[in-house]
């Protein structure tokens, strides 16, 4: 009976994973039939290299979404791009490219940036969408000013990160490390405070939850994950690219939504975002196995849109209380 109950509680807790689990299982099945090379060592290896920045970017968006107020970080992509181009154009250029410098720099700037954003959201009380939208515009512009076209090289120690011939690449370890870190983070009291703040901010505030601290913290975590996403992204492309980083905003948000995290806040989690990212990768991977020729890019675009709309609808249907009649 106890076991049964535990299973039930596990189920109710993870209801939001329904879409992403089903979809990824289905896609894996299709992939197994159409392109079994995915499951080879190099197949998995390159999948991890490509997936890592997306997984980390979607994990970066997750705490901010969980903290509520309709806060979606639209600027996650441009921030990732900013860290990528400044790493290439400044740190490597001026010789501060040792791993320590690079990681301290990325995490420091990522967190600092998010703290500034959080300050504006909390104290100026401008809605998060507007703040991150403005930040998107600013960073997109700044990125192009720093680096007007794809150029530069990644730090030397990163050169062999991006080939993905084996499963156990350095990117794999970074990704695993960050996922483990997330697992720890999601078991802390701090994570709980973020969920409470996002679930019903008025309740949390009135019950004495440190809502301001939780919101700042959520943004700081986002900064750390964006920094690591930028690291993996730099490893993936091996250079600096001022525009491609911005595209991560849309895929990261799609991954979060697909993972069942409610954009209204307080519901969802990192596992969903990881599964959502995997789904996005698999969608384009599976679609690539069909011979769409020139339109394959458009098929991907369309399916991203359809998946986004569908998962939003499924989410809102699940999260509506059963007995609600009004």
- Using DSSP, state whether 208 is helix, strand or coil: coil
First and final C-alpha spacing in the chain: 36
Choose between 154 and 257: whose C-beta lies nearer to other proteins: 257
Tokens found for residue 112: 């600092």
Please choose, from the candidates 153, 136, 135, the residue with its C-alpha nearest in 3D space to the C-alpha of residue 85: 153
Find the binding residues for other proteins in span 182-241 (CB under 8 A). 188-190, 192-193, 195-196, 199-211, 213-214, 217
Residue 101 found at the interface with other proteins (CB under 8 A): no
Find the binding residues for other proteins in span 152-191 (CB under 8 A). 188-190
Tokens found for residue 141: 């512009």
CB of 217 to other proteins, least distance (A): 7
Choose between 89 and 308: whose C-beta lies nearer to other proteins: 308
CB of 16 to other proteins, least distance (A): 9
Tokens found for residue 19: 């879409």
Q: Which residue has the tokens 């689990």?
A: 21
One symbol per residue from 59 to 88: x for binding other proteins (CB under 8 A), - otherwise; what is it?
-----------x-x----------------
128 CB contacts (<8 Å, ≥6 apart)?
64, 69, 70, 71, 72, 73, 121
Binding footprint of other proteins, residue count (CB under 8 A): 84
Residue from 35, 89, 133, 237 that binds other proteins (CB under 8 A)? Answer: 133
Find the binding residues for other proteins in span 279-318 (CB under 8 A). 294-295, 297-309, 312-313, 316
70-85 as b/e, with b when 16 or more CB fall inside 10 Å? ebbbbbbbbbbbbbbb
Choose between 59 and 231: whose C-beta lies nearer to other proteins: 59
């Amino acid at each position: 009976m106890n076991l049964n109950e535990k299973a039930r509680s596990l189920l109710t807790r993870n209801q939001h994973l329904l879409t992403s689990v089903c979809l990824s299982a289905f896609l894996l099945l299709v992939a197994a039939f159409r392109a079994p090379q995915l499951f080879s060592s190099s197949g998995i290896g390159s999948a991890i290299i490509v997936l890592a920045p997306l997984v980390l970017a979607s994990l970066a968006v997750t705490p901010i979404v969980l903290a509520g107020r309709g806060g979606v970080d639209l600027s996650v992509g441009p921030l990732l791009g900013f860290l990528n181009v400044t790493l290439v154009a400044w740190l490597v250029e001026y010789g501060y490219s040792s791993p320590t410098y690079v990681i301290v720099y990325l995490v420091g700037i990522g967190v600092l940036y998010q703290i500034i954003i959080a300050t504006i959201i909390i104290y100026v009380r401008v809605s998060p969408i507007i703040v991150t939208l403005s930040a998107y515009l600013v960073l997109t512009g700044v990125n192009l000013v720093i680096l007007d076209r794809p150029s530069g090289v990644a730090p030397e120690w990163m050169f062999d990160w991006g080939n993905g011939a084996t499963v156990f690449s350095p990117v794999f370890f970074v990704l695993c490390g960050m996922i483990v870190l997330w697992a720890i983070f999601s078991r802390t009291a701090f994570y709980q405070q973020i969920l409470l703040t996002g679930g019903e901010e008025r309740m949390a505030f009135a019950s004495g939850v440190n809502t301001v601290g939780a919101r700042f913290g959520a943004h700081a975590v986002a900064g750390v994950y964006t920094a690591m996403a930028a690291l993996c992204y730099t490893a993936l492309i091996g250079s600096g690219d001022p525009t491609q980083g911005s595209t991560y905003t849309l895929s990261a948000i799609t991954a979060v939504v697909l993972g069942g995290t409610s954009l209204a806040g307080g519901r969802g989690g990192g596992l969903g975002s990881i599964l959502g990212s995997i789904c996005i990768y698999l969608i384009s991977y599976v679609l690539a196995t069909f011979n769409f020729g020139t339109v394959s890019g458009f098929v991907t675009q369309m399916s991203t849109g359809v998946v986004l709309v569908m998962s939003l609808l499924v989410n809102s249907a699940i999260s509506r209380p059963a007995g609600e009649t009004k």
